[in-house]
Amino acid sequence: MRVPLSEWLHDFWHSLEYIFLIVSFGAVYISARNTPKLWMRFFLWFAFAALAASVLLKHFETVFDVLAIAAAFVLIAAHIINIKQLNCSVR
């Protein structure tokens, strides 16, 4: 029994989302552990929680697709802000 290509691609991209969540968790864990600012720790974990919730709920509503993309951009922005703050505090 052959699986249609579109179904296989859907499953492939869906599994990549979970791999991305695992990598994101590791990055947030390391960043939150190393940042001295408490508000940045909350911001990183909040952005990750929004990303994880939206990825896990994508099957129920299509609005979660947009929320997942927005949460990913917020998480990227949080990491960039954190890196800039750490570089400024080193100087």
State the Cα angle at 26 between 25 and 31, rounded to 5°: 100
Domains of the chain: which residue ranges? 5-90
Residue 4 pLDDT: 72
Residue 41 pLDDT: 93
Please state at what angle helix 38-56 crosses helix 63-90, rounded to 10 degrees: 160
Tally of CB atoms within 10 A around 44: 23
Low-confidence ranges of the chain (pLDDT < 50): none
Q: What is the pTM of this model?
A: 0.80
Residue 3 pLDDT: 63
Question: Cα–Cα distance between 50 and 52 in angstroms, integer?
Answer: 6
